[in-house]
Amino acid sequence: MIKGVIFDMDGVLVDNRDVHIEAFRRLFTKYGLTFDREKFMPSFGMTNDLIFKWQAPELLERFDLEQLSQEKEALYRMLFEKAIAPTAGLIDFLAGLRENGVKISVGSSGGSANVNFVLTRCGIATYFNAIANGDMITRGKPDPEVYLLAAQLLGLKPEECVVCEDAPVGIQAARAAGMRVVALATTFPREKLEDYDLIIDDFTQLTPRQVIELG
């Protein structure tokens, strides 16, 4: 039986793909690099250390990873400040999960600052029983560490959890953790996503009962 739902953040709690892309584009441009959106997309959902390793290793030769990450995330929050909003149907879905006694967690590659920014500005922090984020793990997605940690913090077994994910690397992480998956076609089109139990465009198309019955 499903007892917990773990939400990725970017592309799931908020539909923010283009904001992250613009923040990376501005950062790359500042340091004289060409930003290739098509090349970048497969790394969407990874932690910043993996993104910079694969997308801009030359920057890591010149600058500290923490400096680059903080600069990029500050750009992201500045750009998203006025437009931030929860994904369609999210708040009603969260309320429905809580009414059905389902535990709720974040399982995000994003750091504490970004997670707190989203939960606070969207007014949804009180729905979550636990938070697992990129500052709490040593291995980013597609490694399952963040989802296993989220389940542990909820006091649940992996097989008792469903993950809501928007990115292929996140779906891989959820499956590696032994969890069911609801995919959101927000960041990637439906044809780019696979190995899920359900797929939706947003949370208006999903009910708590559908999720519970996945177990």
CATH number of the CATH domain containing 169: 3.40.50.1000
**Are 173 and 121 found together in one domain?**
yes
Roughly what angle, to the nearest 10 degrees, separates helices 168-176 and 145-154?
60
Which of 80, 102, 127 represents a domain boundary (last residue)? Answer: 80
**Are 97 and 121 found together in one domain?**
yes
- What CA–CA distances, in Å, run from 181 to 21, 124, 155, 189? 25, 22, 19, 16
Domain that holds residue 54: 17-80
Q: What is the mean pLDDT of residues 111-115?
A: 95
Structure tokens at 147: 């989802």
pLDDT digits (tens, 9 = 90+) for 123-172: 999 999 999 999 999 999 999 999 999 999 999 999 999 999 999 999 99
Structure tokens at 195: 């190995």
* In the chain, % of residues over pLDDT 90: 98
> Structure pTM?
0.91
What pLDDT was estimated at residue 107?
98
**Are 190 and 126 found together in one domain?**
yes
pLDDT > 90? residue 37 = yes
pLDDT > 90? residue 117 = yes
pLDDT digits (tens, 9 = 90+) for 72-110: 999 999 999 989 999 999 999 999 999 999 999 999 999
**Are 57 and 145 found together in one domain?**
no
Catalytic residues: 8
pLDDT > 90? residue 215 = no
pLDDT > 90? residue 2 = yes
**Are 36 and 97 found together in one domain?**
no
Identify the helix (H) or strand (E) that includes residue 210.
Answer: helix 208-212
